[in-house]
A and B are shown apart, each in its own frame.
Chain A
């Protein structure tokens, strides 16, 4: 059975955009239904996407939802679910550029802050096995990775963009060991920017926006894993529009 044209138009737009925020997803949902005169119910976006996913999943794709780690806003991205390789990037980047990206990923995955400094990244550009990248070529590449919305740069430190995390999740889970892959105890998604439990024997990590939601109605803030007092400040966070998502 074929998908309706409204659903098809939604997929096409997602293929172009890669990632959209909740507001844009809602606008797009409405637009697609109206253009093709299909039944539109404003709060049925989730069901609309479920229908799409039922057709995409046999092809190892799906539209995935994830909350931004900064402010909890929802994002929707069209991702490849079986990708244990960086196929999505392979048409845009050369072999040695992809290798430097993998090295950057290594640095980010093994750092406590889930960031990699530009110095460390540029140093590894010297020792690539495919082909060495000059410092200026590596700097250019980092700019491109930020522009293409794979990395986010803040004062010389690089972290993974929301879109990158969504697309790379299968790759990351395949390539790294369990103790390297941090997962949020509330939403069970990958966690990079997160709060950690003070108990050294406890492994609980929680996204900042997830912590806000989780502790909201609790009189005392206790770790869901070990019941120790949660040491981090948790309050309603501001909507920051500073991060760029295309």
Chain B
């Protein structure tokens, strides 16, 4: 029981796990490292495919991708041609998947995928809608309506009114506090930051970088309208801002695929 069938072919995976071995088997590597030899189109294509796959795996969990991890996990000795491979991946996402690579943090080079296609009625019938998205929208709209930054207590109180207690295990969301302050934050939908000079330490919420590029303000107002059965124009100040945003960037994609 403790040993695998010896007849099973394991050699392929062993080779892949062992970096040094695979490097030895690729004679072109040292030339690539020196950057003296031109890479073939096939080599570039192969790396581009790997990068596309890497993005897709990360995007399943809505996790952003850092340039440094791309170099470490995907490009390796091809890091000199980062831009060329990144361009190729970008092109494939746009032409085949209807997705777009967006750099949400230009300083640390952090990228996410966003959807170029507008969500439409009927998608839900086919896509099972994710209840976590509803929770996220409640928080995002709360933050937005309160001016962009709010103390965490306000969020927890609002959720409690909706029978979602951050202190208890929720049937659908599990550990609510962890979902909101960890998962949504790692996905860059929310920012959860220490309020300076508080004792004991208190935190506040604001929109994360992904939310800024992925979710239009107009959509938030529509969501609120549906939630409260009201016309979004009722919040005239925010409505003006939101419609201004929408017309200023008509082509800006507004929502994510994977939810």
Interface residues, chain A, with chain B CB atoms under 8 Å away: 1-3, 5, 8-9, 11-13, 15-17, 24, 27-28, 31, 35, 55-56, 58-61, 80, 84-85, 87-88, 90-92, 103, 106, 109-110, 120, 123-124, 127, 174-177, 180, 246
Contact = CB atoms under 8 A, between A and B. Distances in A.
B92 A16 contact: no
Given A85-B13, A127-B2, A174-B9, A91 B45 contact: no
B127 A8 contact: no
A151 B9 CA distance: 22
A174 B12 CA distance: 8
Nearest to B99: A12
A124 B57 contact: no
A5 B94 CA distance: 10
Contacts of A56: 96
Interface stretch (B114-122, B136-144, B239-247): B114-122
Nearest to A83: B53
Interface size of B as a range: 35 or more
B257 interface: yes
Most buried by B among A59, A110, A123: A59
Interface in B92-151: 92, 94-99, 115-117, 120, 122-123, 125-128
A103 B5 CA distance: 10
A35 B98 CA distance: 14
B175 interface: no
Contact of B98 (A12, A16, A177): A12
Interface string B1-25: 1101101111011001000000000
B70 interface: no
Contact of A12 (B4, B5, B95, B257): B257
Given A17-B127, A60-B49, A8 B4 contact: no
B9 A2 contact: no
A17 B13 CA distance: 28
A186 to B, nearest CB: 26
Contact of A2 (B96, B123, B127, B257): B96
A110 B63 CA distance: 37
Given A59-B96, A60-B49, A85-B16, A176 B8 contact: yes
Nearest to B130: A16
Most buried by B among A16, A60, A87, A92: A16
Contacts, number: 108
Interface string B57-95: 110110100000000000000000000000000001011
A11 B9 contact: no
A5 B12 CA distance: 38
A202 B49 CA distance: 42
A16 B117 contact: no
Contact of B96 (A8, A60, A88): A8
A80 B53 CA distance: 9
Given A3-B95, A16-B258, A8 B117 contact: yes
B56 interface: yes
A87 B53 contact: yes
Contact of B7 (A31, A35, A177, A246): A177
Contacts of A31: 122-123, 125-126
A119 to B, nearest CB: 11
A71 to B, nearest CB: 22
22 contacts: A3-B95, A8-B116, A12-B117, A13-B123, A17-B128, A24-B126, A28-B126, A35-B120, A35-B122, A59-B52, A60-B53, A90-B57, A103-B4, A106-B4, A106-B5, A120-B1, A127-B1, A174-B9, A175-B9, A176-B8, A180-B5, A180-B8
Contacts of B98: 3, 5, 8-9, 11-12
A103 B1 CA distance: 9
Most buried by A among B53, B97, B120, B125: B97
A2 B53 contact: no
Contact of B8 (A8, A16, A177): A177
Contact of A55 (B96, B115, B122, B257): B96
A17 B130 CA distance: 12
A211 B123 CA distance: 37
Contact of A175 (B13, B58, B94): B13
Contacts of A9: 98, 117
A180 B49 CA distance: 31
A2 B60 contact: no
Nearest to A177: B7
Nearest to B259: A16
B95 to A, nearest CB: 4
A196 B57 CA distance: 38
